Every structure is written in structure tokens, then in C-alpha cells.
Structure 1
Amino acid sequence: MAWSTQQLAELADTTVKAVRYYHRIGLLDVPERTANGYKQYKVPHLIRLLQIKRLSDLGVPLSEVAAMGRADEDPDEAIRALDAELEATVARLNRVRAELAVILRHRAPAYVPPAFAPVSRGLSDRQRSLLLIYSTVLSEESTEEFRELLSEPDHTDEEFEALPPDADDAAIDRLAARMLPAVRRAREKHPWSKDPAADAPRGAKHAEHTMAEAMVQLYNPAQLQVLKRLAALLAEDAADTSYGTA
């Protein structure tokens, strides 16, 4: 008895397109043809097609199916390698599910790193963009410190976010002065904030450059002037402290 391509595909619960593809890549031998040109598949073809389908269903890449069918190939080794790959895949999927659960619980945007999900709803789009970049270049420890810092907002945060780009020098100086006490408290409670990039995985210089570039492009000119003024005030604090201990 012989089967047509369509009949063989139906027996193996696959498609004619798949059978032809297996022929093309050398996994399934092309059968003899009848006088009128039709292929005649027999039991060995069905067995091989079922083997291919079974291995494929197990997750074996088609590029490795041929090797697993060789007599000199150790099937246990190939199966152990496949099992290790599947274990890694399951671990990744479980991690993704856990992260999605955190995002759903806090109704946070999907792109927000899970560590920031609890505080993300109170942040502006600009702040979310910054934390996304920061979490990419900072270490896990520094990212966690940053999350704790964000969970302690100050009343001047909203004023800073709302500062128009054409704010005058007086408004910039006043806001910087009002923000200074909060920044001082944050630095005392979170010494990490004085040098957040110190333990960056790709180096402090890379992290600092990336973070600075993000701030320049995300904040408006007036906000950048406030940050510059704040840095000057903090430098004065450091100078006064050094002078007092000299």
C-alpha cells in the first residue's frame, strides 16, 4: 500500500507544506513516483515523518533532528541538552509571569521595571523614562536604592516637573533653594545618591554619560538650570563642611 502526500500528511497530523519542507532540507527521503508522476509514500516514510513530528513537538530544532536519528549519536546527551534548554525557558517564563503579576497588581505600565511598579503610578512619563534608563545602566543594588528614593517624594517634585522652559532666573533660584533641604535629607538617608554610578556594571563613566544624556534630552532648559543650581549649592555645602573640619 502507498499513500499520496496529502494522505501521508493527514496520517501524521501535519501539513503537505511541512512534508515538502522536510524533503527540501533533507529530513525526509523523497519517495518513488508512479508512472503519472505522483509520489508513493510507504511505511518507512510515515515512520520517519512521525519521528520528525515527535522530536519537533518536544522542542528539538529541525537542524538537530537529523543528528538525533544517526546511529552513532548519543540520544541521551541530546535529550539532556534539550531538557536544560527547556528548564531555562520555563525559568524565564516563570520570571516573566511573576513580573507581570507585580505590574498588574500595581496597574503600572508594562515597560516599567518590576522593582518600580509600586511607585510608577505617581510618576510622570518623563520620570518613568528616566528610571527605565537608570535601571539599565545601574547595578541592582543602586536600582533598589533609587526605587526607595522615589518612594519618598517631596512636595517640590511636582513643582519641578511643572516648571516651564521659559522660567526666569529668579524662579529657578527659588525652586533650587526650596528643593535643597529635600536633597540634603535624601543624601543623608541614602548616601548612595551622592555617587549612584559608582558600582555600575559597565563602569561609572558609561553610566554617568548615559544618565546625563537622558536628563539633557528629557528635561527642559529651566529644569536643567535648577539641577545645575542645586549642584552648585551642594558643592557649597561640601566646601563648608571641609572648611569646618580643617
Structure 2
Amino acid sequence: MAWSTREVADLAGTTVNTVRHYHQVGLLEQPSRSSNGYKSYEVSHLVQLLRIRRLRELGVPLDQIDRVSAGDDRALAALEDIDAELAVTIERLQQARVEIRTIIDGATTTDLPRGFENLTARLTETERSLMLIYSQVYDDEAMRDIRVMLESDPADVRADFDALPPDADEQTRIRMAERYAVGLAHDLTTYPWLQDPLAHHRGRPQMTWEAVAESVAALYNPAQLDVIARAHVIALATIAAG
């Protein structure tokens, strides 16, 4: 009995393109051709396809199928590696389900990184955007510290800062900077790495610094950026004065 490519694909529960791909990567032997020039698949090819499909169902990557099919110590080692990878994937998916349920229940939003769910009501849209960016450029320890800072920051100061218009007058900026500097001085003292944030970066340091600087510049208006700069000077002076 001989089958065409489409027929053997149907029997194996896969597609013609998949069969062709298995040929390309060397997982499936090329069949002989019939007198009309078409490929002629036999039972051995069907068995190969079914074995590949079974291993794929078990989560075995295509580039590991040869190792797993070897039937020796290499196969066992490969399966151990795959099992460990699957365990990590399952844990990640289980955590994703928990987070999705939290979003469905209305306790958080989709634009907050993991661990910040309890801050949903406290954070502005700008802060949520920054947290997403920070979670990409800072490590887990830094993100834990940032979460604690946000939890302890006075809500009224953050609300007034968020409402600061871009054309705020000089006196308004001065008063806002003085209020902002109180919490900033505390944070700089409690978390010294804030003065050297690249110590907790992910990826390339220069790219991390540029990403943070550009994000802050893009998300805050001119008056807010001015307040941040003034508050930083005041906070450092406060720390230096002891």
C-alpha cells in the first residue's frame, strides 16, 4: 500500500506542510516516487510520522527528537531536560492563570507588572506605564523595593504631582518640589542603589539608562520634570546635612 503526501498526512493527523518540513529538517525519510513522479509513502513513513507526533505531544522540541528517539542514555538525559523545561512552563502558566483571574475579578489591570496588583487603585496611568518599563529594565530586587516605595509614598503628594499642569508657575513648582523631596530623601537613604540604578539593571547598562531617562522624559510634562530635578537637589542636600 502506498499513499500520497496528503493521504499520509491525513492518516497521521497532520498537514502536508508539516510533512514537508519534517523532510527538510531530516526527521522523516524521503519516500520513493511512483511512475507518475509523485511521492509514494509506505507504512514505515506513517509510523515515523506518528512517532514524531507523539513526541511533539509530549512537548519534545523538533531539534531534540533525534536524541529522544535514540533509545539510550542520551534519550533519558534529553527527557530529563525536557521535563525540567516543562515544569518551568507549567509554573509560569499557572501563575498566568492566577493573574488573569485577578484581572477578571477586577482587582487589577493588564498594564501592571506581576507583584503590583495591590497598587492598582493607587497608581496613575503614567505610573503604571513606568512600572511596565521598569519591570523590563530592572531586576526583581529593585522592583520589590520600588513596590514598597510606592506603597509608602503619601497619596496626597503623588496626586498633586500628577495633577501639576505643564505651565505651573514658579512658586507652585517650588512648593511641589519641597514636598516631593521629603519622600525622595527617605527613599534615597533607605535604598542607596537609587543613586546607582544600573547596579540592578537587566541587559546592557547603557540601554537601561537610556530607556529609563527617555521614558521619564516622555511620560511627564515639563513642570513635573522640573519638580523632579529640583526635588532631587533638595533631597541630596538634606541627606548631606544629616
TM-score after normalising by structure 1: 0.76
Pairing 1:163–2:164 present: yes
CA shift at 1:175, angstroms?
2.6
Once residues 210 and 2 of structure 2 are traced to their aligned partners in structure 1, the CA distance between those partners, rounded to angstroms, is 69
- 1:67–1:73 contact (8 Å) kept in structure 2: no
Inter-partner Cα distance in structure 1 for 2:36 and 2:233: 90
Kindly tell me: are residues 122 and 8 of structure 1, through their superposed partners in 2, closer, same or farther at Cα, counting changes over 3 Å? same
| Equivalent residue runs for 1:191-210 within 5 Å | 191-193=189-191, 195-196=193-194, 200-202=199-201
Aligned alpha-carbon RMSD (Å): 3.4
Q: Deviations over 1:12-57 (max 9, x none)?
A: 2222333333334333233333333344333222222222222222
Question: How many pairs align?
Answer: 237
Amino acid across the alignment from 2:134? Y
For the 8 Å contact 1:28–1:49, the answer to whether it is kept is yes
Unaligned 5+ segments in structure 1 are 242-246
Q: Structure 2 vs 1, CA of residues 112 and 6 (structure 1 numbering), >3 Å: closer, same or farther?
A: same
SS of residue matched to 1:128: helix
Pick closer, same or farther for the CA change 1:140–1:49 going to 2, 3 Å: closer
| Structure of higher CA gyration radius | 1
Deviation of the 1:89 alpha carbon: 1.7
**Deviations 1:179-237, CA, capped at 9 Å, x for gaps:** 45x527x828x84256535573349x867775455333322222222233333433453
125 and 48 in structure 1: CA distance in 2 versus 1, 3 angstrom threshold: same
CA distance in 1, matches of 2:27, 2:139: 47
In 2 relative to 1, CA 104–191 (structure 1 residues): closer, same or farther, beyond 3 Å?
A: farther
Larger displacement relative to structure 2 (32-41 or 121-130): 32-41
Which segment is superposed worse, 207-216 or 11-20?
207-216
* Counterpart position of 1:220: 221
| Alpha carbons of structure 1 residues 197 and 95: separation in structure 2 relative to 1, 3 Å | farther
- Aligned pairs (5 A) from 1:27-176: 27-70=27-70, 74-105=74-105, 107-152=107-152, 153-176=154-177
Amino acid at match of 1:5: T
C-alpha distance in 1 between matches for 2:193 and 2:200: 14
1:237 aligns to what? 238
Cα distance, 1:106 vs. partner? 5.0
Deviation at 1:71, TM superposition (A): 7.0
Q: Secondary structure at the match of 1:36?
A: coil
The CA deviation at 1:240 is: 4.6
Q: Find the aligned partners of 1:39 and 1:232 in 2 and give their Cα distance.
A: 76
**Maintained 8 Å contact 2:141/2:200:** no
Q: Tell me the distance in 2 between the aligned counterparts of 1:197 and 1:238.
A: 12
Q: Report the CA distance shift for 1:120/1:12 in structure 2 as closer, same or farther (over 3 A).
A: same
Query: Residues 166 and 48 of structure 1: is their aligned pair in 2 closer, same or farther, counting only changes over 3 Å?
Result: same
Distance 1:54 1:162, change over 3 A: same
Alpha-carbon contact 2:189-2:239 (below 8 Å) kept = no
Q: What amino acid is the match of 1:43?
A: V
What is the alpha-carbon distance in structure 2 between the residues aligned to residue 23 and residue 134 of structure 1? Answer: 45
Native 8 Å contact 2:8 2:46 kept in 1: yes
CA shift for structure 1 position 239 = 5.2
**CA–CA separation in structure 2 for the residues paired with 1:236 and 1:31:** 79
Kindly state the Cα deviation for residue 117 of structure 1 after the two structures are TM-superposed.
Answer: 1.8
Once the two structures are aligned, what percentage of the paired residues are identical? Answer: 38
Contact 1:102 1:114 in 2 (8 A): no
